[in-house]
Chain A
Amino acid sequence: MSDDILEQAARWRGEGRRVALATVVATWGSSPRPVGSTMAVDEAGAMAGSVSGGCIEGAVVHEAQKTMEDSEPRLLSFGVTDEMAWEVGLACGGKVQVYVEAVE
Chain B
Amino acid sequence: MKRDILERLLKARTDKVPVALVTDLSSGMQSLVFHDAVHGGFGLEDHHLAEIRARLRQDHSGLVEFPDVEGYEDEGPRLFVHAHNPPLRLIVVGAVHIAQLLTRMADLAGYAVTVVDPRAAFASEARFPGVELVHSWPDEALDALVIDARTAVVTLTHDAKLDDPALMVALRSPAFYVGSLGSNRTHAKRLDRLCEQGLSETELKRIHAPVGLDIGAETPAEIAVSIIAQVVAARRNAL
A interface residues, Cβ below 8 angstroms from B: 1-3, 6-7, 9-10, 13, 21, 23, 25-26, 35-36, 72-73, 75, 99, 101-104
Contact = CB atoms under 8 A, between A and B. Distances in A.
Contact of A101 (B28, B61, B110): B28
B82 A6 contact: no
A6 B12 CA distance: 12
B62 A35 contact: yes
| Size bin of chain B's contact surface | 20 to 34
A3 B62 contact: no
Contacts of A21: 1
Contact of B6 (A23, A75, A103): A103
Interface string B144-184: 00000000000000000000000000000000000000000
A1 B25 contact: no
Contact of B1 (A7, A26, A75, A102): A102
B7 interface: yes
B228 to A, nearest CB: 15
Interface string B6-20: 110110010000000
Contact of B28 (A1, A9, A10, A73): A73
A26 B63 contact: yes
Nearest to A38: B82
B188 to A, nearest CB: 39
17 contacts: A2-B84, A3-B13, A6-B6, A6-B10, A6-B13, A10-B10, A13-B6, A21-B1, A25-B23, A25-B25, A25-B62, A25-B80, A35-B62, A72-B28, A99-B25, A101-B28, A104-B2
Contacts of B62: 25-26, 35-36
A11 to B, nearest CB: 10
